[in-house]
Structure 1
Amino acid sequence: MQKNLLQLCYEGECGENYIRSMNEKGQIFVSLSDVLRTLSAENRKLDGKTSQSLLTVIRAVIKTLDPDEFRNVSLVVDGETISEVFLTEPGLYRVLAQDTTAAGKKFQRWLFHQVLPSIREFGVYPPPPKQERSELSAFANSLQQTVQALVMEIEKREELESRVNQVELKVNSLESLRDLSQFRSVPQRLMELGLDTYSVEELWQWCEKLRSERGAERIKCPSGLNINSCYPLALVDEAIAIYQKVVEARTRQ
């Protein structure tokens, strides 16, 4: 835990006071003893009153807190391991709400308006110089420009793909003007022959095999479905004959 401690410097009426804090997974914890010590010193400086024992005050304050408003943290101080109470933000609000003095209000304003917002945004207090923040902003702008360029590239590719599809549709339209009486798709030929029980997918694969081996023509279907592509009628019939032999061989096994 000690390696994660942040030292917050509060410059009040009695000089600098350091308050230990932790930022654990976005949850902020603040040392109860450091907060009470700082408030006690500031109030003593402003009104001159003698304060109670810090240990007595700490014990009294802890009794007012709910279990989830503080945490006991093990720290190594001068070679010894000690346990100290660190407040969660709700616990911090509860403790500071009990101090209505001028010193308490000033301390609250510093903590809630400067420290906590800085730790949430940058992870440290005081916040980094504006130059570093400008560099971060420049990086964010550069990243945004890169994303925009990527989006534009995707849009261009989609537009190009759309144009290619349009050209393909036009080609298919021209193909539809041809005399296709000697071409058939597998579903068409099976319907003509009354062979509705045959596997369209397997027959289409045989047509593709024969077409590839012989360099035969294939006319794609405008719908884009491969099984609806048209092949020379003789090739489709040959594929059906091969398929029938394959089915017969399977039956004999």
Structure 2
Amino acid sequence: MNDLQIFQSSEFGQVRMVEINKKPYAVGVDVARALGYKNPSKAVIQHCKGITKAGIPSKGGIQETNVIPEGDIYRLIIKSELPSAERFEKWVFDEVLPSIRKNGMYVTEVKLQQKIFNAMKVEMTSLVDEIVTDKINQIEEKCSQYFRPLSKEKQNICKYIKKRLGIDKADEEYELVKQRVLIKLGGEKWEDIPVETLVNSLNIIDESIRIIKSDRQVNQLSIFEIAN
């Protein structure tokens, strides 16, 4: 037997229910009282055919109480002279019992919406986490592939520039070549330029080196002429 479930209606009051062998049973006197019977206990005995006993919690502890299946609930409704019996039938058979079968417990509209919201929240959180994780992985992959300052290819480019300039260490001419290349490629430092772009831009690097060497020759000639 499942735990006691208490269903509350502003019109009919309280109806306690339990599940026995996966079937819903209502406390007989609760149903009879809601349907306006003057003697609820007598009405249950008189009209119900599937009465069984179940331990129902009360102020005095667990008490063996008459509970009735769906068929007997309907019998009490039919025998009731209460004008609102039809509304009670609609509440029990259209809301309470279908909800028990579907959700394993009775839920009001608000509770059902909350349940749906919680499920959607979990799903959306999982989706957002997946999207964010995917984006982070993409960025890390790009950083790993293109923007590593110690990339071997970039070191080779730096060595290539120094060799063409005939220097061992970075000097003013090296920095001028570097700045011209970065401006051409739209970056502020080597780390901004993908390795592949640098490798495919040797013509820009060579052009920058030629310009710097040309300026060097002009400056040397001017100094020689001044000396003479």
Give the TM-score normalised by structure 1: 0.42
